[in-house]
């Protein structure tokens, strides 16, 4: 896959000079690449720099460093920012207009007709709600209406800021299904989230951020294996028929010897979660900084 976005040594300073901070950077030395037609996650706690990074990608804040979009440096042609659409999942819709009227208004800007809008409403499970005013919809339904707009514009890259925050698990699943459909339509999706479990199971690649820096990046699986690896948890019978549990590193020779020489009751792998890796990465970095 081709690179659709490349960030090299991106840094952003805080604007307010009166802030007495040890670190004057909202972003510092940010480097990553995003492939065409993938779901790319920007993960981190509040204040990590996620929103500032979105502002860089949408030309809303000045920065130092290099940013290429579709292989074109933005300083040579800022029209490349038109390839990026920030889909504000909680804004940009008119409360007193119906669902269908909101979407038709948006579709007309990009030359899309009612047939396309109604097809998308059916796909999102919102066809029966099309004549209801936006003000009457639940938060989750409003989010899905907002996401439908991503199918209607001409941008190849879609940015979503916390698309599943503050919604129930069922609604969250419906929103993720819509995001998958956005990807299948040929677009690249970039999203921010606090939800580590969602990022682990949903994103193709991601960056873990803290205090304006990237602390880890790669596929969720590679990040987990790189930092913590996979361990084997073995439960054995003892002489008095009680169970003892041992955790072994995933090494074939050690595991084979252990199985041959012990009364095995059960055996299964024990993978670290992305949340565990993230916390350990921050703790490791803090210890390194103290030294």
Structural domains of the chain, with CATH: 3-219 (3.40.50.300), 225-290 (no CATH)
The tokens describing 249, both together, are 């590193």
Residue 15 pLDDT exceeds 80: no
Residue 130 pLDDT exceeds 90: yes
pLDDT digits (tens, 9 = 90+) for 53-101: 999 998 889 999 999 999 899 988 878 888 898 887 667 899 999 999 9
CA–CA–CA angle 192, 157, 55 (5° rounding): 50
> CA nearest 191: which of 160, 218, 231?
160
Provide the whole-model pTM.
0.81
Per-residue pLDDT, averaged over 141-161, amounts to 91
Q: Per-residue confidence at 230, pLDDT binned at 50, 70, 90?
A: low
**What's the CA gap between 57 and 52, in Å, rounded?**
9
Residue 109 pLDDT exceeds 50: yes
**Sign of the CA dihedral 135, 138, 139, 144?**
negative
pLDDT of residue 4: 94
Per-residue pLDDT, averaged over 166-182, amounts to 90
Query: With contact defined as beta carbons under 8 Å apart, do 19 and 178 qualify?
Result: no
pLDDT of residue 165: 86
pLDDT of residue 216: 92
pLDDT of residue 276: 83
pLDDT of residue 236: 60
Query: With contact defined as beta carbons under 8 Å apart, do 41 and 183 qualify?
Result: no
**Average pLDDT taken over every residue of the chain:** 83
- String of DSSP letters for 240-256: TS-EEEEEEES-HHHHH
Residue 289 pLDDT exceeds 80: no
pLDDT of residue 18: 47
Beta-strand relationship, 157-161 and 188-193? parallel
pLDDT digits (tens, 9 = 90+) for 240-284: 555 555 555 555 556 556 555 655 555 555 677 888 888 888 777
pLDDT of residue 253: 56
Query: With contact defined as beta carbons under 8 Å apart, do 163 and 147 qualify?
Result: yes
pLDDT of residue 261: 62
pLDDT of residue 281: 80
Cα 14 to its chain centre, rounded Å, is 24
**What's the CA gap between 88 and 176, in Å, rounded?**
16
Report the run of H or E that residue 29 belongs to, with start and end.
strand 25-35
Per-residue pLDDT, averaged over 14-29, amounts to 71
Query: With contact defined as beta carbons under 8 Å apart, do 174 and 144 qualify?
Result: yes
């Amino acid at each position: 896959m081709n690179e659709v976005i490349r960030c090299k040594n991106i840094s952003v300073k805080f604007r307010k000079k009166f802030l007495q901070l040890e670190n004057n950077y909202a972003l510092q030395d940010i480097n990553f690449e995003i492939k065409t037609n993938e779901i790319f996650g920007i993960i981190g706690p509040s204040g990590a720099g996620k929103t500032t990074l979105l502002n860089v990608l949408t030309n809303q804040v000045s920065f130092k460093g290099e940013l290429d979009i579709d292989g074109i440096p933005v300083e040579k042609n800022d029209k490349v920012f038109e390839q990026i659409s920030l889909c504000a999942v909680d804004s940009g819709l008119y409360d007193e207009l119906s669902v269908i009227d909101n979407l038709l208004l948006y579709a007309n800007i990009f030359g899309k007709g009612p047939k396309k809008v109604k097809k998308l409403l059916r796909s999102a499970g919102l066809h029966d709600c099309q004549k209801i005013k936006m003000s009457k919809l639940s938060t989750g339904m409003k989010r899905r209406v907002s996401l439908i707009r991503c199918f209607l514009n001409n941008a190849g890259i879609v940015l979503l800021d916390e698309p599943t925050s503050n919604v129930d698990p069922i609604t969250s699943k419906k929103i993720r299904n819509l995001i998958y459909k956005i990807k299948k339509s040929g677009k690249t999706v970039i999203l921010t989230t606090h939800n580590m479990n969602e990022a682990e199971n949903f994103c193709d690649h991601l960056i873990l951020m803290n205090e304006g820096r990237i602390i880890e990046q790669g596929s969720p699986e590679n990040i987990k294996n790189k930092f913590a690896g996979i361990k084997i948890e073995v439960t054995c019978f003892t002489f008095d028929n009680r169970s003892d549990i041992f955790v072994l590193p995933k090494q074939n020779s050690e595991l084979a010897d252990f199985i041959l020489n012990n009364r095995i009751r059960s055996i299964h792998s024990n993978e670290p979660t992305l949340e565990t890796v993230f916390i350990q990465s921050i703790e490791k970095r803090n210890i390194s900084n103290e030294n």
